[in-house]
Amino acid sequence: MLKKIDKVLAAFGNIRAMKRTHVDTYTEGRINEIKGDQIAGNNLLGIWITFNELAGYKFLELAMLSRTEIKTFKGVELSFLGGEVEMYIDSDTKEISSDFSNISNRWLTHISFEVSDEDIDFITKKEYEIIQIESKKKQIRFKTTNNS
């Protein structure tokens, strides 16, 4: 009943009703086409990574699916915790904004980190149990996946 009312209100130009009835296929399509290796989480939520090189600099490109929005102009800190050695990396991207998909009720966040060869070796060895992303106001933790 309420959906029908929203459709009528949207037809008359009500912005709030338009937002409630809008189906975001663009963000959901981006979620379904995430590239890289999943290093933490499960099928619905998690962290996927790829390594890139540009002009001699190496970057870790991270895609995160979570139930939490991240919106900051000060960047985030990526932490690899739970092993004998812990590692912390500050994001190269300072302005970060998540995209919401109202189909699956998840937030998609892309973050870039400048890394060294030693950082890449540490990340690919998976000698950590928890990956944490922390901004000034939020902290999101994922358990690592077991596939090496």
| CA gap 15, 47 in Å, rounded | 34
**CA–CA dist 133, 32 (Å, integer):** 22
Please tell me which residue, 46 or 145, carries the higher pLDDT value: 46
Copy the structure tokens of residue 90: 């500050």
Within a domain: residue 148? no
Average predicted confidence (pLDDT) for the chain: 84
Give the bridge partners for 59, in sequence order: 52, 114
Domain of residue 66: give its range: 2-143
When divided into structural domains, the chain yields a total of 1
Q: How far apart are CA 18 and CA 14, in angstroms?
A: 6
pLDDT at 100: 85
Lowest mean pLDDT among 32-46, 70-84, 128-142: 32-46
Pairing of strands 130-134, 139-143: antiparallel
For residue 70, tell me if it sits in a domain: yes
Cβ atoms of 103 and 28 within 8 Å: the answer is yes
pLDDT at 11: 58
> Tell me: the pLDDT tens digits for 53-111?
999 999 999 999 999 999 999 999 999 998 888 999 999 999 999 988 877 788 989 99
